[in-house]
Structure 1
Amino acid sequence: MRVLIAIVVLFLAITARAQEAQNPCPDAQPVPPPLHLPATMPAGEPFQFEQQVLKYLSTLDYRKLGWCRDKWVRDTGPLMNGNAAIVHPAVHIYYSPEVSHWLLNGRQGDIPDGAVIIKEQFAPVPAARYRDIPEQSLGCSNDWTIMIRNSKASLDGWFWAEVWNGSKPSNSMKFTNKFQYPNAGYGLYCLRCHASAERQLTFSSLNNIEGAPGWPLQFRVDNSWMADSADTPPTTCGNGKSLIDFIQQSGISLSEWRTLRGEEVIEPSRFPSHEKNAAIQEDVEGVRFGAKLRTPTRQLLAIHAPAIQKFPPETLDDVLARPKAAGMQASESLPDFVTSSQCLGCHSGLTNTSLGPAMVLTSTSSPTINVSPYGEWRWSPMGLAGRDPVFYSQLDSELAFLKEHSQKQGVIDKCMTCHGAMGKRSFAAEHPKEDFDVNFVYDTDPASEGFKYGGLARDGISCEVCHRMAPPKDASLPYFLEHHINGVYDITPSNELNGPFKDDVITTYPMDTGLNIKPKHNDYIQSPQMCGTCHTILLPVVDSPKPDTTSVEQATYPEWLNSDYRDEYGSVGATAKTCQDCHMPSGYINARTNLYASSIKDRIAIVQDLTYPVTDHLATPDELNVRYREEGYRRHELLGTNGFLLQMFQQPVNDEGNNEVLGVRMADYMTGLTTDLEAASNNVVQQAQSITAAVVVTKWEVQDSKLIVEVTVVNKAGHRFPSGVGFRRAFLELQATMNGKPFFTSGATNDKGQITNFAGQVLPTESFAGGKYQAHFSQTNPIRSSDQVQIYEELTKNADGQFTTSFTRRDFDIKDNRLLPRGWSLKGPADLKIPEPYLHATWPVGDALKDPAYLSGRGESIVRYEIPLPAGANAGNINATVKLYLQTMPPYFLADRGQTKTPATARLEFLANSLGTLENTDYENWKLLIASATK
């Protein structure tokens, strides 16, 4: 035995000496202290550590450590006709001893923690500019990307950073950059390429190292770059030629630069792309939509803005994949959700960069439109659900009424199960005996218990909420309605995601490597029932004298089931459409942007795959074949008609913008586009005015001294219109003119969106004064006065008999004449029994039950107007225009929120005031046009 041990020891010693003899950098010194990661890293941008690293790298002292280094400055992709297809600028890399030993050992095992890779980056490309410059004369690259190993911090095990001279400290910025996507941290977008490496998330190769055998990869570089004057790097870091020189060499015009930055260019830099990105991210003033502030005045808002409760910046919504501990198994008991920050790197788009465009639509006559999954989702009401100021105001109003803790907590749990899905579910799994605190969403202290869960909650109906939703164990409708509404759903194991594509045609390697998640095919992701989980809401009636009283507060999914659009549970008709067919279209049509694409054909991930420049140690082709989808690409538009919410995020306030209050960055990091929110708002208008409802004048005649008009309103949606929360309303505005001069109106509004009569007086029904409200008008109950208006709405009263917008005090249904979908039936579908109370929740309430046209199942409402004619009027000189408008936040709803004095209601009031009258927008006077007709 001793002999055997001696032989093994001798063998290991010989092997070690052999490796040492082959080591091209045997005298390499340890990693210096400035590159040691601190024990804890602050949330968001780790500015202090970045400055420490930048200060050290600028000394170039790392070149004196004897570390292994690349043989020469090398390209990362080809350059042809002045166009570079590169993943980095020209690079020259230094490897700490831990990395070089790992390379010498054949890239086996794990790289030890503390290992460092320093990548000097030189621009402009190609590397040929720097090939003949000795290292001592190479000067400073002025830009570095670094990797520092820390396997305990995240699954990928690396701290990623890019630092450069010319970058500005956040505390010196005129406009804060606390919203920006970090330039340094764990789990950054660097993974979109590095997760494709075959081992340890690095492509480092012994071939590149000076003194080692082999040669670096070579790329085709033509002579187009030689037309530029030869440029040499500065001799001292942070100094050298003016930035103007480098901007001109980069192909960016000075006028474009000044437009982006809004100031003269004076700082030395060799990487204008960094400065351009910094300008986009840091200069909120420069990326706001519409510099003009609507009423009230900027000065007035400035007085009150500091007192408004603000959401933490979305940079703090950053929950990473856990390090894979030994023996750790994916489990349903621990959700292990990650935030969308871990998805944006691969599933956002790219514009016309060296590796784009991808998942963006461009044409010569329209702006660039980001149609990537992340890019569209983030400005949808689902992406904003965790920061929705209307929701939090509503929640505070509900809680203010309740006195018992158990009731308050019950409401919080039900509401946050959807709006803060990942935070609520994670906290419940990891703290089963504790109550979720809604104030977690305002927590900015990483050391506090609620910080992680607040970040998950603020991420709203995030990527993993839908893609980890598992089919119910029982497929029946009664079981679903009993167990899987109110946001309650079964979840996949944490290492699985559901997707629409078959397993044999999806690429799982990068996601598995970077996040320990494998996408899998599951048809349930395309099921409307999945949407029904959060769009079927049953709530307690907390003020009812009868215990355990409940009310269906939202019935969008049952409404769809009771329509001709249903394609689940029974026969499928010719008009069947899923939720996804309308809200996740496969094409892009928008007249506003003059862009028409019947279908989108593209890849759905921008990972490093077979289309990128070749690199060493890439995973195998079968693991990285990201397919170009000829069909099946679905946009994550996920919009309804709630453009008023988007206006709150879009509207500028003071020099900061509402994003200062709501905590969102206005630019998309991957594309650099600052127009995604504007595009989402345009898409709301497109959807509202094309596939929501239609208005037709079906009767027009003069009888004696009256004008008789009948207007048919047709619901084109697959559910009620409006649907969802009960305070939304649609109404008809009819204006009759004689010789062009109005003589009658019904449904006119003032600039606050309040409905007025012909004299401009606000109708008492707008505040339900004296218990008054608008009846349902029809062919047998015509409108004869300007005090009458057809409003499609749901009205409820509380236990005290007062009209209410509360979700939990819906004791009495007074009116519900919202437009029914085509195919609706009082008894429900012939081949499907919809359980109570959900079938009942699809019924009209009040006078609409007496309207045969409304109950016909055609999805129609016919409204008759009998209008007195002025003297001199005749069929030849009178005209009428009728318009259908939508309000998702009617004035009375906003007034109701103001009755409760809390930070959330004050914030909503502030944001609503910031919008003023919404003049010069599609939402002017607080109403959105859906359809119109003129006779």
Structure 2
Amino acid sequence: HDAVVDPTDPAGRLATPSLGYLPDFLAAYPYPGDDTRGSDEPQLEARLMMPSQTYDHVYMPEHVDPATGQLLTSDQCLGCHDAGSTGLYFDMTAVDSATGSLVNLSPYATWGTSPMGLAGRDPIFFSQLASETQTFHADQVPLVENTCLGCHGFMGQRQYDIDQHAETGVCGSFSRELVSSVPWPSDAPEAANADYGALARDGISCMACHRMVLGEEDTAAAAKLAENACALERQELLNADMTGFGRTFTGSYLLGPSDEIYGPFENPVTTPMQNALDITPKHNSTIQEAELCGTCHTVHLPVLHNGETIAQVYEQLTYAEWAFSDYRSGTSPDGSLPHGAGGTPQTCQQCHMPSVNDDGSPTVSKIASIQEFSRSGETAFIAGPDAIDLSEREGFARHDLVGLNLFLLMMGQQFPDIMGIRTIDPMMLDLAIDPLEYTADQIIKQAANATATLKITDVAHNDGGLEATVTVENLIGHKFPSGVGFRRAFLTFEVLDDLGKVLWASGRTDGVGRLIDENDNPISGEIWWEEDCSSRIDGDARAHQPHFQVITAQNQTQIYQELVSTPGTGENPQCSHDAEPAGQLTTSFLSICTEVKDNRLLPHGYLPEDERIDIALALGANKEMAVDAGSTAVGDDPDYADGASKGTDSLIYRVPADALDGTPASVQVQLYSQATPPFYLQDRFCTAQGDDRDRLYFMTG
């Protein structure tokens, strides 16, 4: 992944794709066909291409009434908050020590190629949405699309709601179709909705965060604004039994007035933004608190079954996992929380939006690039230095916002034409490393340096075989992996001879990343569907790799993951964290009835359940949040004992002598992360049809 090939291609690719399908991919995932297009695999064709980023252009109308709640696309911000916009001065940049090229560290550049910036174009998300609406919940399409796009297409969904409510008094229902709306040809029916499509495709954009309102006092004021009527309705739908911060879960927070925007620095210079956008920047420290992230990274959803909502569960608890860990700050916008700060308090932003240099010193930079009086004398007719000169700010934060989803970045580098994105920064052009390359590099650095450590101890070899203990330590402030529930990580443990030949291994993979045994057969849980997608393979058996404390065979692999099941087929299915699984394993976000397994690595200092409940209730959530944040099916493993977490998991590899094909000389272990595991991809390909399914099929194939 470190070596990026620069091809010559009109699409401006940053890495060379394989436009022909990999044989291993077709063998593992034969194209299941399409009712309208037949059985030929999709190719690089126009129907797979998302609308160009050039169409994502929504500006502030002249003399707009703030009550319209008008949201703007990020291209309205990049003119100042991207580097190099003056063409003369290059604040918010650094020199790359390896290449000597400039690195664009501006908010726009670093955010734009992050998973947040790409959320409205994410081919994985749209394929998931197709499965939800075509197969899992075809009888609840408006509810599913409006709920899911309320996060991934936040600004489009929210603006559509605001405008529909202002016009009709009824909140809108934002659809997948609206996301594709563009203004050309101008007489096309969808052209009237082009602004909503542009706002949705802009992802978790600038205004999605910088207009967020949290805290009791500010929320009470925002609740009176007409533009928040539908957000309040969303809260009632998704979080009716909650109060305070809990009402904002699943991206259900309120927005401040459209003529205000909030940032972390005191005494902001207001004239440039007021003149450009008729918006006044204001200081608000809430934007530096973890709850800013927690509104969307606590996902509370209905359980849909036979056309009805039978329960509500948590799909994702990344924020809660942090709030229960040693990294918790012990505060929220509403004040102090029970049990105070953890031993090593650190907010989401301090990890995912670094504001320190490599040596630990705080970053110092101007936060915008504009024509200032002191630099450009010709601006004297606009305003004096007090109105338009900017000062350097200590703690300037890079909007890196990365986890470990390198696959998404590789898709963007190889297929920018399909994702509809630029491969060159609109301000820096070729003066700087492309942001897609920068973001991929940050993911690689995070994986290598700030995710986990591995240790092998107690290695013994005798006539009975070989034994070794492996310990994994979680370095991050929540479970690993976290985020959407299908992410997983696994250990590959290998016994080698003196020439480096593998004599025995747990955690081998084939050419598409499926875990296999010594005979190259996928191990239990790797394949969910028959090869032709005609049916699930014994779905009620819920086959998977359990949590291991001792591994003795090559068809056993330690996988750190969360697995969930659908409601059972009987009458009155019971759904909760502690309910007995009765349905099939599922990747549907809206079919999660109960947990089958959750052995993800706990963070350091994870609190016992009773203390987690105290914090959950103080946040306005329910006790289920604290219970769901526990582990499932880990047996009596002391590493997961309630309240005893050291952020580690230790297990023993015990290799029988007769299983060793030679004389052992060394052992090694590696930890791998899979953002889109093979079973997840197969479920996408087998449970949907059409462009959104085919886009993911082509890009991963």
Q: What is the Cα deviation at residue 828 of structure 1?
A: 4.9
- TM-superposed CA distance for 1:587, in Å, is 3.3
Highest CA radius of gyration, 1 or 2?
Answer: 1
> 1:622 aligns to what?
386
Show the counterpart of 1:690. Answer: 449
Among candidates 228, 241, 254, match of residue 490 of structure 1? 254
Tell me whether 1:314 sits opposite 2:82 in the alignment.
Answer: no
Are residues 713 and 767 of structure 1, via their aligned partners in 2, closer, same or farther at CA, if it must alter by over 3 Å? same
- C-alpha separation in 2, matches of 1:304 and 1:872: 45
Q: Which residue matches 1:550?
A: 312
Q: 2:321 aligns with which of 559, 573, 578?
A: 559
Question: How far apart are 1:435 and its partner, in Å?
Answer: 2.3
Match of 1:885 among 655, 672, 678: 672
Contact 2:491–2:557 (CA under 8 A) maintained in structure 1: yes
Amino acid at match of 1:490: L
Change (3 A) 1:613 1:822: same
CA deviations on 1:47-100 (whole Å, 9 max, x unpaired) are xxxxxxxxxxxxxxxxxxxxxxxxxxxxxxxxxxxxxxxxxxxxxxxxxxxxxx
Give the CA deviation at 1:303.
7.2
1:903 aligns with 2:665: no
Structure-1-length-normalised TM-score:
0.62
The one of 395, 399, 411 equivalent to 1:648 is 411
Match of 2:123 in 1: 389
**In 2 relative to 1, CA 305–404 (structure 1 residues): closer, same or farther, beyond 3 Å?**
closer
Identify the residue that residue 366 of structure 2 maps to in structure 1: 603
1:292 is displaced (CA, Å) by 6.3
Indicate if the aligned counterparts of 2:325 and 2:342 stay in contact, CA closer than 8 A.
Answer: no
CA distance in 2 between counterparts of 1:408 and 1:638 reads 30
Question: 1:752 aligned to 2:490?
Answer: no
Distance 1:849 1:634 in 2: 42
* 1:209-252 Cα deviation digits (max 9, x unpaired): xxxxxxxxxxxxxxxxxxxxxxxxxxxxxxxxxxxxxxxxxxxx
Relative distance call for 1:261 and 1:548 in structure 2 (3 A) is closer
In structure 1, C-alpha distance between the alignment counterparts of 2:46 and 2:55, rounded to whole Å: 21
1:775 has 2:546 as partner: yes
Identity %: 36
Aligned partner of 1:523 among 277, 282, 285? 285
Q: Work out whether 1:866 is the aligned partner of 2:600.
A: no
Shift of the 879–355 alpha-carbon distance from structure 1 to 2, 3 Å rule, reads same
Distance in 1 between the 2:178 and 2:300 partners? 25
Q: Which residue of 2 aligns with 1:473?
A: 216
Matching residue of 2:584 = 802
Matching residue of 2:230? none
1:819 matched residue in structure 2: 601
Partner of 1:536: 298
Residue 454 of structure 1 deviates from its aligned partner by 0.6
Judged with a 3 Å threshold, the aligned counterparts in structure 2 of structure 1 residues 836 and 830 are, in CA distance, closer, same or farther, namely closer
- State yes or no: 1:787 paired with 2:550: no
Determine if contact 1:308/1:906 at 8 Å carries over to the other structure: no
Structure 1: gaps spanning 5 or more residues = 1-259, 263-282, 590-595, 652-657, 914-935
Instruction: Give the equivalent residue in structure 1 for 2:63.
Output: 324
Given that residues 503 and 664 in structure 2 are in contact (C-alpha distance below 8 angstroms), is that contact kept between their aligned partners in structure 1?
no
Query: Match of 1:408, SS?
Result: helix
CA change 1:552–1:527 in 2 (3 A) is same
Count of residues in correspondence between the two structures: 605
Query: What pairs with 1:5-20 in structure 2 (closer than 5 Å)?
Result: none
Instruction: Tell me the CA shift for residue 738 of structure 1.
Output: 2.4
Deviations 1:324-363 (A, max 9, x none): 15xx4x23xx220110000111011129x86222211115
Question: What's the CA shift for 1:836?
Answer: 2.0
Q: Which moved more, 1:793-802 or 1:640-649?
A: 793-802
Corresponding position: 1:445 with 2:186: no
Distance 1:743 1:375 in 2: 47
The alpha-carbon distance between structure 1 residues 879 and 375, as it changes in their structure 2 partners (threshold 3 A), is same
**What is the deviation of 1:538?**
1.0
Q: Structure 2 CA distance, aligned partners of 1:375 and 1:527?
A: 22
1:826 CA displacement = 3.5
CA 1:307–1:372 in 2, change beyond 3 Å: closer, same or farther? closer
1:459 to 180, 197, 202: 202
C-alpha spacing 1:826/1:605, structure 2 compared with 1 (3 Å): same
User: In the alignment, what sits opposite 1:81?
Assistant: none
CA deviations 1:92-137 (Å, max 9, x no partner) are xxxxxxxxxxxxxxxxxxxxxxxxxxxxxxxxxxxxxxxxxxxxxx
What letter matches 2:623 in structure 1?
E
Give the Å deviation of 1:833: 3.2
Cα deviation, residue 466, structure 1: 0.3
Structure 2 counterpart of 1:819, one-letter code:
L
Q: Which one of 289, 302, 327 corresponds to residue 14 of structure 2?
A: 289
Q: CA deviation at 1:293?
A: 3.7
Deviation at 1:573, TM superposition (A): 3.0
Q: 1:551 to 1:337 in 2, by over 3 A?
A: same
The superposition leaves residues 899-921 of structure 1 with CA deviations (integer Å, 9 ceiling, x where unpaired) of: 111321111111111xxxxxxxx
Cα–Cα, structure 1 residues 762 and 436, in superposed 2: closer, same or farther, change >3 Å?
Answer: same
**Is the alpha carbon distance of 1:336 and 1:381 closer, same or farther for their aligned partners in structure 2, counting shifts above 3 Å?**
same
Q: Secondary structure at the match of 2:304?
A: coil
Residue 898 of structure 1 aligns to a residue whose secondary structure is helix
Supply the distance in 2 between the matched residues of 1:463 and 1:797 (Cα, whole angstroms): 36
Answer whether contact 1:501 1:521 (CA < 8 A) is retained.
yes
Deviation at 1:797, TM superposition (A): 1.7
Unaligned runs of 5+ residues in structure 2 are: 1-5, 27-39, 220-240, 332-336, 529-536, 569-582, 617-621
* CA separation of 1:713 and 1:467: change in aligned 2, threshold 3 A: same
Q: Deviations over 1:785-835 (max 9, x none)?
A: 000010001111223522211111112311111111111133153794323
Q: Secondary structure at the match of 1:743?
A: strand
CA contact (8 A) 1:472 1:490 kept: no
Give 1:659's aligned residue.
416
Equivalence for 1:732: 491
Counterpart selection for 2:93 from 354, 357, 360? 360
CA gap of 1:817–1:767, structure 2 versus 1, over 3 A, is: same
What SS does the aligned partner of 2:640 have?
Answer: coil
User: How far, CA to CA, are the matches of 1:303 and 1:512 in structure 2?
Assistant: 48
Contact 1:358 1:603 in 2 (8 A): yes
Preserved contact between residue 374 and residue 385 of structure 2 (Cα < 8 Å): no
Letter of the aligned partner of 1:540 in structure 2?
P
Structure 1 residues 291 and 784: CA distance shift in structure 2, 3 A: closer
Q: Which amino acid aligns with 2:173?
A: D
Give, as a single letter, the amino acid of the residue that structure 2 aligns with 1:584.
M
AA at the equivalent of 1:820: L
Counterpart residue identity of residue 126, structure 2: Y
In structure 1, what is the Cα distance between the partners aligned to 2:318 and 2:660?
49
The offset of 1:665, in angstroms, is 1.1
8 Å CA contact 1:538–1:552 kept in 2: the answer is yes
Match of 2:32 in 1: none
In the TM superposition, residue 854 of structure 1 has moved relative to its aligned partner by: 2.7
Cα distance in 2 between the residues matched to 1:872 and 1:902: 48
Task: Determine which of 321, 326, 338 is the counterpart of 2:72.
Answer: 338
Report if aligned partners of 2:13, 2:416 keep a CA contact under 8 Å in 1: no
TM-score, normalised relative to structure 2: 0.81
Distance in 2, matches of 1:810 and 1:601, equals 45
- The alignment partner of 1:707 has SS state of strand
Over 3 Å counting, the alpha-carbon distance change for 1:610 and 1:833 in structure 2 is same
Distance 1:669 1:354, change over 3 A: closer
The residue type paired with residue 824 of structure 1 is: Y
Equivalent pair of 1:544/1:809 in contact (CA under 8 Å): no
2:235 counterpart residue number? none
- Aligned residue number for residue 196 of structure 1: none
Residues in 1 aligned to 2:46 and 2:54: alpha-carbon distance in whole angstroms: 22
RMSD: 2.7
1:858-883 alpha-carbon deviations (Å, 9 max, x no partner) = 11111111012359999x95211100
Paired with 2:7 and 2:652, the residues of 1 have a C-alpha distance of: 57
